[in-house]
Amino acid sequence: MRKLLNTLYVTSENSYLALDGENLVVYEEKKELGRLPLHNLDGIVSFGYRGTSPALMGACAERNIALCYLNPQGKFLARVVGKTYGNVLLRKQQYISCMDQEMSLEIAKNCIIGKVYNARWVLERAIRDHPMQINTEQVKTASLQLKKALELIQNAKSKEQLRGYEGEAASIYFGVFNELILQQKKDFVFQGRNKRPPLDNVNAMLSFVYTLLANQITSALECVGLDPYTGYLHTDRPGRVSLSLDLIEEFRSVYADRFVLSLINKRIVNKKDFLKKENGAVLMSDDLRKRLLVEWQNKKKEVITHPFLKEKVEWGMVPFVQAMLLARYLRGDLDGYPVFLWK
């Protein structure tokens, strides 16, 4: 169990939550794992199926403490709140901010700054760690181009201009992505991003992992009370989690792309795990999907230091932290949305 920004995360799938006086108590196999005073909490997120006592649910409802339930893989199941709850004000502010052109553009800029900044440092890390295995000059040139793109993004005057800069930066980054593949280079060739359907082994994995990450971010947004379907950069469309697609930008390179590269470079995957159809679409085998999900769960447990909080958190918790930070900004508790900047 882990407390971040007044929200308790119970990550053990076998934990049961109960009430003892004014305290929340976490049990596993009838053994007490820990307890926290309810007055210290704004929310509780449980990754498991064991449940919560009715007494605790009632106490949380009375105190406006949101209870969120996710399955062990992080898929959102439900959120329980009382008769009145501040999230209605949060969502109202979210909708107002989406209509405010200046504020909406500023949040969208932050998301894309995070995307390009993090992509650049993925390249810089490759230059530092593998100078003899990559075309250092080519990757360094791309890194400098991304640095210049950050200045253009910061000065963008409209979302249309911002989307143009973002597209150019993505093209630069993916233009050298093949250099980051250090092993099995004949079987995993990347010549550009393609999807619906993916046309090579690398793109097949990228699309799958991006979907996992988008689901994770959607769960995080639901837990803090934000509407994942109303975004700032990605336009609203029925059934489209636009805000999740906004926030995923800052995570793509450092979280998803590096994960896929590690699968290839550590030889966890090989060419036998893929099937190419007559129309050129490349599919992953059922065995690979299962294996990839196991590796993804392991990745989520890796610990990093969050650049804004300066606290150690698991990768799997980072989207939840960012969702909370965005909610705090919209409530007026922060001067700006502190995008996730990795280095």
List the one residue out of 218, 180, 223, 244 whose CA is nearest residue 80: 223
The pTM for the full model equals 0.80
User: ∠ CA(340), CA(189), CA(112), 5° rounding?
Assistant: 20
Strand-pair category, 76-80 with 274-276: unpaired
Q: What is the pLDDT of residues 36-50, one digit of tens each?
A: 999 888 788 888 778
Q: What CA dihedral angle connects 275, 280, 281 and 285, to 10 degrees?
A: 0
Strand-pair category, 312-314 with 76-80: unpaired
- What pLDDT is attached to residue 51? 83
Q: Reply yes or no on whether the pLDDT at 5 is more than 70.
A: no
CA–CA separation, 190 and 188 (whole Å): 6
Which band of pLDDT confidence, cut at 50, 70 and 90, is reported for residue 8? confident
β-bridge mates for residue 284, sequence order? 274
- What pLDDT is attached to residue 30? 82
Region 55-77 average pLDDT? 81
- What pLDDT is attached to residue 83? 59
Average pLDDT over the chain, rounded to an integer: 90
CA–CA separation, 78 and 333 (whole Å): 26
Q: Reply yes or no on whether the pLDDT at 235 is more than 70.
A: yes
Q: What is the pLDDT of residues 306-325, one digit of tens each?
A: 999 999 999 999 999 999 99
User: ∠ CA(220), CA(221), CA(224), 5° rounding?
Assistant: 90
Q: Reply yes or no on whether the pLDDT at 84 is more than 60.
A: no
Which band of pLDDT confidence, cut at 50, 70 and 90, is reported for residue 215? confident
Cβ neighbors of 319 (< 8 A, separation 6 or more) are: 213, 216, 217, 219, 220, 247, 251
